[in-house]
Structure 1
Amino acid sequence: MCVCLRAFTPICQCVTVHCCVLYQALSDGEGRGSPDVPPADTLCGEPTHAPPMSNPANTANSDTTSDDATAQVRLPLSSTESLRQLSQQLNGLLSESPSSYVNGDSSVTSTSEKQLEARNQELAAALDSSRLTNSQLSAKLEQLVRVCVCVSHVVEAHGNDCTAVCGNVHIQTIGILVSEKSELQTALSYTQQAARQKTVEAEELSNRLQASKQRVSELERTLSSVSTQQKQFEKHNKELEKERDSLRLEVYRFNQANEEVKQQSSEVSEQLKLRMNENSAMRLELEELRKRLEMADLMIQQFSSQSGPPSSDQQVQMLIEEKLQMESHAAQLLESVAQLQRERDQYAIQIQEEGLVWKDKTEQLLSQVTLLSEERDRLSVQIQELESQVTDLKTSAAIVSLEAEPQDPAQSAGPSDTELALQETVCSLQQEKEALSSQYQAQVHDNEQLSRLCQEQEARLLELEREAERRAEEVEDRRRILEDVQSDKATLSRALTQNRELKEQLAELQNGFVKLTNENMELTSGLQSEQHVKKELARKMGELQEDLHHVKEQLEAKAQEVQAVLEQRDQYLAHLQQYTTGYQQLAVEREDFHRRLLQQTQLMDRLQHDEVQSKVQLDLSRKQLEEAQAKLNQLAKDNEDLKAEVRELLNNTDLFVQSREQGMLDSQSFQKNFQKSSITIPEDFESKEDMEQFLISTLSQLEAQRDETHQRLEEEQRLHKAALQQLAALSKEHQHHISGEGAHTAPGGAGVPMEVHEALHAAMEKLQVRFTALMQEKADLRERVEELEHRCIQLSGETDTIGEYIALYQNQRAIMKQKHMEKEQYINMLAKDKEEMKAKLAELQELVLRLVSERNDWHSRYIGATNNPDLLPGGTEPGLPAQRRMELNAVDGPGILSQDPQRVLENQEARLLRPREDGTARQIMQLLQEIQNPQARPAPFLGENPCIPFFYRADEHDEVKILVI
């Protein structure tokens, strides 16, 4: 018995050593993929070197090593499960990439063809590794067979004494080896099936890769054609914009020419009115001259009846000459009136012809503008068609992804490669579209700069033509003010429509948010029912959760960085838009300031010109007054000489002497008064009011002098008539004395001698000649005084119109300043509202993104837990997934355990759940992108911003009904 025990102990030690070596080799082969198993000879020779004794501690160690080995045999399954979970996570990340790109954030780079090829190579490498494991397992089986043969040889060598005990040991070891062999065969069958599936997947991936390459080539062709068409459209659009600018310039020039012609016609009509007034004044003067001529004829008749024939002939000749001069002057006036009428008719004909020409040109320009608008509409329709094609491509890609997903049951965690390729192509197309839109905006900005340069050149031309376009600019300013009012109204309506669209989009977002909250509630209920299963899997899922937590933290950090970068980009875009709008406003204000400065300079030039003209006219009037004063002085001197001669001749008559003395006194007083009434014109005026006061005072002084000269002239005429009567009486007495000289001669009679009578007659003739000259000069001075009065009236009227223009300009300037301030206030208010809206939408976007990320995380965990049986404990039976589904669904379990088609439907619903949710998330992100990046609008006009509040609630059928108030 002792011999049997001694023989049995080395056999047991050898068996345990063989088993430990085999399990260690298996574990090393599974862990490293290159097992170093000792050969059978070493194993067979190992009992000779084994220790001769065995204790319970060694047996316990052998049991623990056997348990560890059995645990390590199952490690291949855990490694495949880890690979599968990693592939699911990668698919989940890739499925999240389109939703993030829809939001305009290209945070995760899209997979390209190289990445697909790399993935194909990885799958091929995995297939090769599975083949290597199969070959290693077959080698291990062969080694185990050899070990069995060695054990049988060892048992035969130790003798036939302990055959019974060794037979039991052999039976046990063979049973263990057979069970391990069966397990290894099952593992081999699993690995072969996995290798076959991987080969099928690799073939499918290669086919999909080829199809995606073909699709990408087709999309690249369509994209190249679209880009060429867009370039052609841009070139054509630039040409059309240039033609539009040239047509606008032509229209502006035609309008300026039309206004100039209208101004010229108004000036000609004013000149015609002035000439008509002058003609009527000349007619009145002609009537007065005729009256004077009649009076002169009467005086000639009187002189001819009183004096001899020589003096009457001279007076008749002088009067005839004056009559001829007056007739020639009247003929000239009539010719000038006829010429003015002819010029008026010619101007009217020219204005009609130019009006017809401008009407034709404006019709042509309108036709060209309509053609340009039609082409612009056609181009916009083509762009919309291209956008619709892009959306069709997106929908086709989504449909392909939905069709391909049910066909691939193994890849339920994420979209297929074709879907990723299509999404990549769509993303690239969207990027190119955005690049083309940015180029288009840059071209539009360049066109605006060119238009600004053209406007500056036009402003320079307007500066050169400022004197001829004064009234036209005023009319244009009014028209521009009306256009600004209309444009502000249009911008107000656009702003209101934009606010309505934003509110509608907010309503859609809230509906989507309600849907997401409902889905989140469903998921939370599923998670609560799933907690029972997760208690059992908590130990094994702990490490995976920690890894996922680290990955999630990294992704959140990256997402935060990307969000910060996107916010900075939005801020930069907002600042850029603000800077562009501010620069445009500054350019408009600068143009308005230049225009106003031109108007002010024109007004100042006109005022200076009027002042110079008034000074020149005052100087002329002063010179004329001085000349008239000199002539009056000369006439007064001549009158005094004549009076002295008459006084010497008629010193015997007291009445004559008294009248002469009175006349002398009157003439001396007149001369003194005239000398006292000299007008002094200052060199410079302090203000316009001083100039007006000076003109009014000079006019009143001139009128007083005119009245005084008129009175003096009447007094002189009265004295002259009295002198003529006295001379006539003296001449009658002299004739009577001559006739009665022969009859009787008085010795002391006071008779007039013949020499004295002749001298007196000569003096009378000289007096008549001087009197007629004095009358003519008086008439000339009166005409000049009337002309000066007329000019002073004109100057006063022009000064009044200048004051009215200045007041009107100041009022318009105040109104424009007020409108500008109101416009700036409203623009600031709209900018603040827009910033607040963007901030709220950014917060909503962050919440939605967080919700989608959490939902995807829990969804991926749920699908991984339900579809991966390798994560379950080793002793569980295949019926456990049904029990889990029973706990998750929380319904009557015994009825569902036997329904295999129901399980299939649930798996299909779980597979189809993610694309639908991704579609809703994509729609929400697209709406957010449209809200956060609105189109550029012009500056709005003042108005109210109506608000439409709404509330939502879910009814019995989980539907949201919006109540709009």
Structure 2
Amino acid sequence: MTISRALTQNKNLKHQLEEMHETFVKLTNDKMELASRLSTYEYKENEMNEEIGKYKPYVGVLEQKLSAIQAEHVQLQNLFQQTQQQLQLKQQGTTDVNLSLREEVSTCNETITLLREQNDELKSKVVDLQQQNDNAALETSLSNKTNEQDIPQGGVMSLPQVLAERDFLANQIEEHKSEHLKLVNKLEQLKEEKSSTTSVNPKYEELARNMSLLQDRFASVMKGKVEAESRVEDLEHINLQLQNECDTIGEYITLYHNQRQILKQRHNEKDEYVSSMAHEREAMQKKLEKLQSLVLSLLNARGSLKTNLTSTPNRGNIHNSSDADVTTLDGSPYKPTFVDWPDMLEDEEMKQQHISRPDILPEDASLPPIHHAPTNNQHNVPGKLERLETGTTDNETTTANQIVDLIEQMQNPSFMNSDKAPRGFCLRYMGRYTAV
């Protein structure tokens, strides 16, 4: 019975060993997969670090360029403000000059118109005077001499006055013309100065164009910088995620190593337990062989000393007969067999089944034997107790003691101790084992 249990436990242990081997193979595959994933993550992390390293000098150069562009922008703004101020001053001066020139031109035009009107009036007066003179000359030629003496001197005196006045007006006209020419020359000079001042406008336009290009470049550089910063932040976030995943993978690897070490420890404990069971099995076989030899020797000794057996009054006829005449309670001839010494390692149900056998040594039997007086309602039968009580010799007593010791040892084998059992295994458990 014990050997069958050991065999079943051995089969269960083999089954558990196969399951452990399968789990070990699975864990090995998982480890390889995790290692490959870890290598890929490390490779990606290195690539991202290289990209970040490539972007860092570019960002530094961009920052330097940006600082230079900002300084140049400030200088250009200052220059632009200065040019604007100068242009404003020049525009104010030109507007003032233009206003003054316009006023002078308007006054000159007014004087010219007045002079022209006066000149026209004088011309008309001169024409009238000439007509009058011509008419007067014709009249004098036709009139007599007396009439010529009667001509007043006032008409003759008015002609030089008119001529003098005409000359005076002509001189004034010449003076006004010269002044007009001077004003025209001055106006042309002012126009030339204005054109020279307005020649700054192309430079200003070129400066404004360069300023717009610089602003566009500055905006593009700032946009690239913002994109680079966002890219760096994304790469840092990805790097943190990879570091967290690497940490979790490392934790999984440490957990795997711990579980593997625990499985190895359990496997070693199981091997030790199986080896101890094998040794105990061999020792049990030796004990069974020894018990068999002792029982045979005891039975042989009982057969040779059957005449010396003593019994109760109800058993007088049995002891007077030979070994073949020994009977049991049911009257059948008694033949000693191996059933007289059953395995004490059987369960309590087997012990209850064999408790009715009269030739089994009870557990409360003690040596040396003590004679128990039978009661009136009880008839002693040829059993181990009576044989020990009646006709035992020293050799038989020693043999019986050895048998009892062997039975006690077989009842309490060393491998049945729960303290020596490996952790995670049960001694009397049937079925699949699941560690919690």
Q: What is the TM-score of this pair, normalised by structure 1?
A: 0.24
Q: Which has the higher helix share?
A: 1
